[in-house]
Structure 1
Amino acid sequence: MAFNCATGKHRRPSMIKRGTVRAAGVAALATTGVVGTLAAPSFAAGNSVDHSFEQTGLNPVITIGNAIADQIDAQAEAQKHAAEEAARKKAAEEAARLKAAAKAKAERAAEERAARAAERRRLNRFVAPVSHSYVSTGYKTGGSLWSSGSHTGIDFHAASGTVVHAVGAGTVVRTGWGGAYGNEIVIRMHDGTYTQYGHLSSIGVSAGQTVTPGQHIGLSGSTGNTTGPHLHFEARTTPEYGSDIDPVAYLRSHGVGV
């Protein structure tokens, strides 16, 4: 059985119907673009209930929609700001990394240059062939002891077994017995000159070996044509006998005081 709700002067439309009518009216206003207030017989001038546009329920919906949009905009702005800040931070970190890498590279390059310069200084350094000694027989000293009639080198005072040093960096070109020189070593120096060490009791290097300034190359003695233990030292323009130059001037030109 169906029950119909009759209308009459003693019945008013239900709340659902009133809400439906109100929503329909608002929708109509929104569709047509008409702005105003709908008049109805039930809205008498003396009625104290305000059924204006604000009471239709549409304005709260719009207000809520705007609030959500504002929240979304604020969230998007915050995300954009965070992304920009992260990008700035990453760029700053990358710049700092590149700066640190460049600084480290420059420091390594400076260290390498300093090491090369130190090595060059070390290799270009010259020392006396015998430490804490002195020249006992000078260059070109005359006498019957020498086949050429004069001394072709200088003699350093040294007891037998005294350590003999390479005066500078070079390559050994000859070792062994040298006739009147006894046991000898001949070294081609880095500047193209040659040095010779004679009357040795012991030889500590071999031909083809590179030597550095101050390196131990042998021990002094009295082998060959000699009247006693000492070191015979020569500076030459070639490895051969007869190409001698003043060894004192040679050593002094390389900073060795003799």
Structure 2
Amino acid sequence: MLPPMTPRERLLMIAPGVLFLVAFGSFEIGRFASRKEAERRVAAQQSTSEIEDIFAVLRNPDIGKRRFPFDLLVKNSTGRKVATFDKEDPASSAILEAIREAADHAMKIHSEEGSALRGLRRINEGSRFFEDTLREHIDANEGLFCSVPETAEGKEQRTGYPDLRIEHVESGTVAYLDPKLYEEKSRSSTLRSFYYKMSSSDSSKITEDAHHLLLGFSHDGADGEWTFLNWELLDLSSLKVKLKAEFQASNSDLYSGELVIGSSSAPGAR
């Protein structure tokens, strides 16, 4: 019968196995870390490559001169069609007549002395009053429903294009309406007065095949005492738009802390 092993002998016997396991584990950890590092490098390279590809497109000197069909832009970004407006169609005709009456009414009441627009600092702040007046007046027509468009997530959203949604209930015909206010003398201006921002399908307010209409109200330019002169209704189905490449940052991006290298007082004192 063999004598029992001493603790030292037992340690010497199991030591090679322990060392092997430690070495194997270290190898596997190192290989895993190397694989993760390689994946991070590939992802970074892909991200850099994508950014450089975008820059290459935006550097094209013709990009700001090209004109893009608005209907294809909407179709590409939302999957929805921009329908041409047919004034002879009964449903479209009913929508047109309601817009005519509402536009006349809005132009009249917002030119009066008691209008909520009087005293505003900027005419752009008055757009919402026109939207509310148009919505109320159009919605009062039997057979029509006028509301603020909802996103695909079912959220009513005031900001962004379009401002109003009109539905001819019996036929299901839908028209999006976007009111704009502009000074009469700037009618032929080449400065931007309409824009459309591509967004995810969930946050887009365009959720249906529809007519897309713009209702422009001209005014005399008398700040704080505007008188509205004319209105024009436009069918955007044949509109051509230009792309303005613009990079932007918010105050939150700028003053978040990591960019600040000096200030008049400690951040906590603000």
TM-score scaled by length of structure 2? 0.26
Question: Larger relative CO (CA 8 A, sep 6+): 1 or 2?
Answer: 2
Q: Which has the larger radius of gyration?
A: 1
TM-score scaled by length of structure 1? 0.28
